[in-house]
Amino acid sequence: MEQVKRTPLYEFHKILGAKFVAFAGYSMPVQYTDGVLKEHLHTRQCAGFFDVSHMGQITVWPKNGKKQDLIAGLERLMPCDLFALPKNRQSYSILTNSQGGAIDDIIIANRGTHYHIVVNASRKYIDFNHIKEHLSDRGDIYLDKKKSLIAIQGPLSHSIISEACPGISGMRFMDQRQTKIFSYPCLISRSGYTGEDGFEISIDDENVVPFAENILKKAHLKPIGLGARDSLRMEAGLCLYGNELNEKITPPEASLSWSIHKSRRATNLSRSDFLGAKTILNQLRLGVDYIRIGLLPSGKAPMRQGSEIYADLAGHTKIGVITSGGFSPTLNQPISIGRILKTFSDDNKEIFVKVRGKLLPALITNLPFIPNKYKKTI
């Protein structure tokens, strides 16, 4: 059995009173002494500190300085417009397979001389090998094993970080830059996975403990575990790989058609020749059978991952499955995300979910459950 890994902040989390769970091969803090509910609400009202160092950070450098060749190779692996991505900007995208399914959802940044890619913890070695297999003739690919990743999320995140790094004031959502915080070199982006304004900070492992000690001295910032991270991303209507996405679900089926940039959609152009393009572009043109939807259970019982969804109270017509579900502290009620047949996806339509052998009603609703608050303008 593979040994459970620890991030460089593991002992620091113990001192803070964290409870741990195994996640993607790592022992990760699921909550601290305040508990998931209070941690969630604190992030929405103030700011939260998240250790997401289990995630992968991949850098891709062009061979012989031929960046245009590298971009063309990267575009073969994902449907985003990398030729139009400016320096110091990043984009959400999907690594697709030849059938159009999602190998992973990623964040890719143009660093000028190279590209920086953040990938999910459970997929980082799969992603790394996939990129190497297809790009080794055009780029030098590295999986950085000496970098930590910290997320500071919430409405007060800007004021907290700007005290230590005034240069972030001009950053907007999905900007990225190299800077220093508390004299520690780091790569900082204005992004995150909570629906709040916030930042993600890539920093050397050797500096992450003193960085964490210093930043958590700031007022209104508290450590937040994976429990609240999951409920925050559900409220924000965001996908979790393995739940809403997998190698058999395409971006349009996951309601992520917006991630296929317009310049990559024309079927008669070479730039639409990404892996799985035939399937995905056909779905954009003709529509999909399944889509991702939000659900508001009518009662207080949570409708969790794997629960079957039916069109009728009698349970004759199965139309889908819950992919994520739990309690929303912000709304003070259960919420779920589901994958259902598109023909049954009208907003405010009542459907039924099997919970402990009983069919319970829920209403289909738009995602996200609460408005996102990204800093898109300065």
Is 255 contained in some domain? no
Task: Please tell me the predicted confidence (pLDDT) of residue 221.
Answer: 98
User: Are residues 217 and 298 part of one domain?
Assistant: no
d(Cα 257, Cα 282) in Å, to the nearest integer?
12
User: Are residues 308 and 197 part of one domain?
Assistant: no
Residue 213 has pLDDT above 70, yes or no: yes
d(Cα 204, Cα 192) in Å, to the nearest integer?
19
pLDDT tens per residue across span 65-88: 899 999 999 999 999 999 999 999
| Domain CATH for 204 | 3.30.1360.120
pLDDT tens per residue across span 251-296: 999 999 999 999 999 876 778 999 999 999 999 999 999 999 999 9
pLDDT tens per residue across span 27-51: 999 999 999 999 999 999 999 999 9
- The last residue of a domain, from among 170, 204, 235: 235
Task: Please tell me the predicted confidence (pLDDT) of residue 270.
Answer: 77
User: Are residues 293 and 229 part of one domain?
Assistant: no
Residue 109 has pLDDT above 90, yes or no: yes
User: Are residues 154 and 48 part of one domain?
Assistant: yes
Is 97 contained in some domain? no
Is 245 contained in some domain? no
Domain containing residue 181: 10-53+146-235
Is 327 contained in some domain? yes
Is 346 contained in some domain? yes
d(Cα 140, Cα 354) in Å, to the nearest integer?
49
Q: What percent of the chain has pLDDT over 90?
A: 95
Task: Please tell me the predicted confidence (pLDDT) of residue 269.
Answer: 75
User: Are residues 158 and 41 part of one domain?
Assistant: yes
| Per-residue pLDDT band at 3 (split at 50, 70, 90) | confident
Number of domain units in the chain: 2
Residue 336 has pLDDT above 70, yes or no: yes
DSSP secondary structure, 77-146, as one string = TSSS-STT--TTBEEEEEEE-TTS-EEEEEEEEE-SSSEEEEE-GGGHHHHHHHHHHHHTTTEEEEE-SS
User: Are residues 175 and 303 part of one domain?
Assistant: no
Residue 64 has pLDDT above 90, yes or no: no
Is 186 contained in some domain? yes
Full-model pTM = 0.97
- The last residue of a domain, from among 190, 216, 235: 235
Task: Please tell me the predicted confidence (pLDDT) of residue 273.
Answer: 92
Is 364 contained in some domain? yes
| Domain CATH for 322 | 2.40.30.110
Mean pLDDT along residues 173-196: 97
Is 73 contained in some domain? no
